[in-house]
Structure 1
Amino acid sequence: MAVTRRQMLAGSGAAIVLSGAVDRLFAGTAEAAQAGGRSGYGPLVPDPAGVLDLPRGFRYTILSREGEPLRSGEGPVPSHFDGMAAFRSDGGRVRLVRNHENRVTAKYRVPAIERVTYDPQGLGGCTALEVTSGGRVLSERVAIAGTAVNCAGGPTPWGAWLTCEETEDRAGTNGYTRDHGFIFEVDPRGRRTDPEPLTAMGRFQHEAIAVDPRTGTVYETEDAFDKPFGLFYRFLPKRPRGGFGTLQAGGRLEALRVPGVPDLSAIQEPGTVFEHVEWVKVPDPLAAQTPVRLQDFGKGGITHAQKLEGCYWGGDRVYFVSSFARSRDGSAADHFGQVWSYEPSRRRLTLHVVFGPDTDVQAPGDSPDNICLAPQGGLMLCEDGDGAQHVFGVTRRGTVYPMARNRQNIGTDQAPAWGEFAGVTFSPDGRTMFVNVYEPGTTFAITGPW
């Protein structure tokens, strides 16, 4: 197997610097006080157990693996670990809510627990774990079931997890008894979860969300691989103060229009700014006849982008990621990842970083996916591409460094393969990084000299 520059980076601990307005990616975080916030934590040390390589001084604990019994006794731990968030619990404990991106072929479904099941034929959903500060799992249970292809989502200011279905399958398709393609609200404590979709937030291939804590506006990404590509949305709730169940009151769904830019991949210069972008009402959020991205948005059309995935709020703006764009798929231009931001107060859209091919196709790896702010300063992003799979850190100065490498080979000795990382998140006290491996489904708690 050929050694790529990405693998050389991971093995040597060398750092590379990205071009673009990278410092803005970390709005709202404290200045880094540790070495990791400046240049990384050093080279990855091969794990003798062949599970997870980390820098010296760091250690991992495996919290959960697919197929093992749920501690609740509800069945086996479901497959395909994806998006995740950490919430504060009592006594320094942490509650994790974890997505399971299960399709009809999943080996282990999310058990269809009656009280929290939307569609008995939906194999996806979420599980919830409570973990001590020392990494001991106290509980693990089904949080919501009967959904499908739960990819990412995001936390809310009122302590809920919004889980997103990355599908548009209707009732009668793949055996489903109800329509799919929605967002659902999940209570990490298990008290208020209602297995009914937030229909006003749209029915499409959802990926991730981020909430403006000042206004309650919810921003949503759409992960569409094929043309016509996905849109970037905002949802203006009728009850913007937020709280469990308030999103069920409805609101207005709108899509981003950048006048004169039908495809964001055409923009290749980091630092490009668009002033006074527009938001256009979605004609039919439920996509009763036509998928949202194909609907008629009137004069000027709408702005698309391939593979819109990660989404987070920082400071005074929302950031969102396009994992890649390929002209052979119909994109206007090629890239290996973009990071954009939108400032609501100025209606301003900014392109911060473009990864390859004119910068470096291996930096940071390829196809950035789930993404989070690190409390020590900087950014963590999950790689979802070919070859070796990493969690990469990006400092305020734009230095990219490897933080973890998945060593669980799901291929063969002759043709090795590794599952992607997903769901990277930090404990509320910033002392533990939690992250999933998609396949084989594995949740890690990583501690060390953050």
Structure 2
Amino acid sequence: MSLSRRSFLTRAAATTSAFAVLPLLSGCGRAETGAYLNEVEGYGPLRRDSRGLVDLPRGFSYEVLSQTGDSMSDGLLVPGDPDGMAAFAGRDGLIRLVRNHELMPDEPAKSAFGENGERFARVDASRVFDFTADGQPHPGGTTTLIINPDRLRVERQFLSLAGTANNCAGGPTPWGSWISCEETLLQAGELARYDHGYPFEVRADADGLVDPVPLRGLGRFRHEAAAVDPATGIVYQTEDDEPGLFYRFIPDHPGELWRGGRLQALAIRGRPGADLRNWPESANPVGVGSRLEVHWVDLEDIHNPDGDLAARGIAAGAARFTRGEGLWFGESELYFCCTDGGPARLGQIWRYRPSRFEGYAQERSEAGLLELFVESTDARRLDKCDNITIAPWGDLIVVEDGESDQFIRGVTPQGHIYTIGRNAQSDADGEYSEITGPCFSPDGTTLFFNVQKAPGRTFAVRGPWPQRSLASA
């Protein structure tokens, strides 16, 4: 990480002491009934939020930055279903938060343009990627929030990518942009003029709509997340599908992804087509802590007109994963989630350490290593891990898309899990929406995340983050 541990501790301690703590109720909160199970202490028990939005430990506080349906600075509305996002350092000490919206063409009621498209005239139609056959703009895309970190207030927010579909997760690049990924195989027809299922790049410093250029070389599939190795420019990608592959894209020109490259899928040496789901029917399950040498399989026909790219990859020797989701690059290694992996189908977290010769012929003599880092067998511990980020002190921060309560979890470098927060608000049917898009501010003092529905909201959380770093020292 670019933020040193020492500077993180200094800045976080100063910010925590200056930030007022939101009053929290004690005693009878739902979060104190044993719905979660900590393997290490973490930050202490969750306390019931008097506003009924997010339960947090003592000493932590939050602000709601943005909510679905709010008016934005460009005259449009905050779209629904916020998902993956990342924070970037902006001008004058401001923070730029680029946020996905996981919306399909048949969800106009959640669109930035209004349910009947009444606000569409406010945008340049040439910068909207796609429309339905009857001329309705696709509602998926990204918004950008410009945040004053001193007051944790949004100074501006606006639409920054328009006309895409089901923008789920993605990832930041070392050159200051966000890769926004379409999690769909929608084909041209009544709902679309073009095939979908591609990533798009959004510059963090853009002050309005970017030109929507699909990164076709990264393949067409149900994209979930992306992560870039700053040392090589290689882009790693997860696929939210079953079966699914774990991909890498070796660009012809690092930092210029639109110019093409090679798409490959991870395979296990000596185990062609290895089934890494660890489901009861999986042969040769992998144990937690096991390290596997990998090689990479070249993929053909990556525009995937028949939706069979993963099946063809497995037939060529690639490893089989299930529902690959969150992905984040740390110190010379990356982590990714498989939401329903493991014998209980409660989720896996994998760690990949690239070869010193990643992407070059020499990697045959020194392979990259894949390790099963965490595998949940108890929903109280971890339930359907989804988006992921890496905290400045080295722990993973993982959010859930589980069956009931939705928690924010921390995972230590030893693989021990603790609980940081819980979505405390349910919808009219009593369902608790998934939590999405965790990421830290550039100075490491603020955790941003979304609650996707009922309604969609973007939160900023501050608190005594250094305590975990000191405890693990």
TM-score by length of 2: 0.80
- The superposition leaves residues 271-327 of structure 1 with CA deviations (integer Å, 9 ceiling, x where unpaired) of 11112x2211111111134531133666x532221111011112222221111138x
State the match for 1:274 in structure 2.
292
Per the alignment, in what secondary structure is the counterpart of residue 61 of structure 1? strand
8 A contact 1:411–1:418 mirrored in 2: no
1:38-96 CA-to-partner distances (Å, cap 9, x unmatched) read: 731111111111111111111111110001111221x2210001001000112321100
Quickly say closer, same or farther: Cα 1:400–1:343, change in 2 above 3 A. Answer: closer
Q: CA deviation at 1:396?
A: 3.1
> Which of 411, 427, 431 is the aligned partner of 2:445?
431
Tell me what 1:81 maps to: 82
- Aligned-partner residue type, residue 104 of structure 2: R
| 1:265 has 2:277 as partner | yes
SS of structure 2 residue aligned to 1:62? strand
Cα deviation for residue 14 of structure 1 reads: 7.8
Contact 2:31-2:48 at 8 Å conserved across structures: no
Which of 5, 8, 16 is the equivalent residue of 2:38? Answer: 16
Counterpart AA for 2:57: P
| 1:95 is aligned to 2:96 | yes
Match of 1:343 in 2: 353
SS of the residue corresponding to residue 293 of structure 1 reads: helix
The residue that corresponds to 1:104 in the other structure is 105
Superposition pairs of residues 348-427 of structure 1, within 5 angstroms: 348-356=369-377, 360-364=378-382, 366-412=383-429, 416-427=430-441
CA distance in 2, matches of 1:248, 1:424: 27
Once structures 1 and 2 are overlaid, which stretch shifts more, 212-221 or 116-125?
Answer: 116-125
Where does residue 69 of structure 1 map in the other structure?
A: 71
Cα distance in 2 for partners of 1:60, 1:383 equals 19
CA distance in structure 2 between the partners assigned to 1:100 and 1:363 by the alignment: 28
Please say if residues 13 and 402 of structure 1, whose CA atoms lie closer than 8 Å, have aligned partners that are also in contact: no
Task: Compute the displacement of 1:177 (Å).
Answer: 1.3
In structure 1, what is the equivalent of residue 128 of structure 2? 117
Q: 1:449 aligns with which of 464, 467, 470?
A: 464
What residue in structure 2 maps to residue 24 of structure 1? Answer: none
Structure 2 matches for 1:138-157, cutoff 5 A? 138-157=155-174
Does the aligned pair in 2 maintain the 1:83–1:153 contact within 8 Å? Answer: yes
The worse-fitting range, judged by mean Cα deviation, of 159-168 and 260-269 is 260-269
Q: 2:50 aligns with which of 26, 43, 48?
A: 48
* Of 297, 305, 317, the match for 1:301: 317
5+ long unaligned stretches in structure 1: 1-6, 18-37, 327-332
CA contact (8 A) 1:87 1:188 kept: yes
Distance 1:78 1:385 in 2: 23
CA distance in 1, matches of 2:153, 2:48: 24
Q: Secondary structure at the match of 2:461?
A: strand
Shift of 1:137: 0.6
Aligned length: 400
| Cα distance in 2 between the residues matched to 1:181 and 1:432 | 32
Distance in 1, Cα, partners of 2:275 & 2:331:
27
Listed as ranges, the gaps of 5+ residues in structure 2 are: 1-28, 114-119, 132-136, 279-284, 356-366, 466-473
Mapped partners of 1:379, 1:341: distance in 2: 11
Matching residue's letter, 2:41:
S
Please report the TM-score for the alignment, with normalisation by the length of structure 1: 0.84
SS for the counterpart of 2:310 is helix
CA distance in 2, matches of 1:434, 1:296: 36
Secondary structure at the aligned position of 2:110 is classed as: coil
Higher relative contact order (CA 8 A, sep 6+): 1
Amino acid at match of 2:277: S
Give the direction of change, closer, same or farther, for the CA distance of 1:268–1:289 in structure 2 (3 Å limit): closer
User: Which one-letter code corresponds to 1:126 in the other structure?
Assistant: T
Q: Shift of the alpha carbon at 1:270? A: 0.6
- Identical positions, percent: 42
> SS of 1:295's equivalent?
helix
Equivalent in the alignment of 1:22: none
Where do residues 164-313 of structure 1 align in structure 2 (5 Å cutoff)? 164-173=181-190, 175-190=191-206, 193-224=210-241, 226=242, 229-240=243-254, 242=255, 246-258=256-268, 259-260=270-271, 261-266=273-278, 267-275=285-293, 277-295=294-312, 300-313=316-329
Q: 1:394 to 1:9 in 2, by over 3 A?
A: farther
Equivalent position of 2:26 in the other structure: none
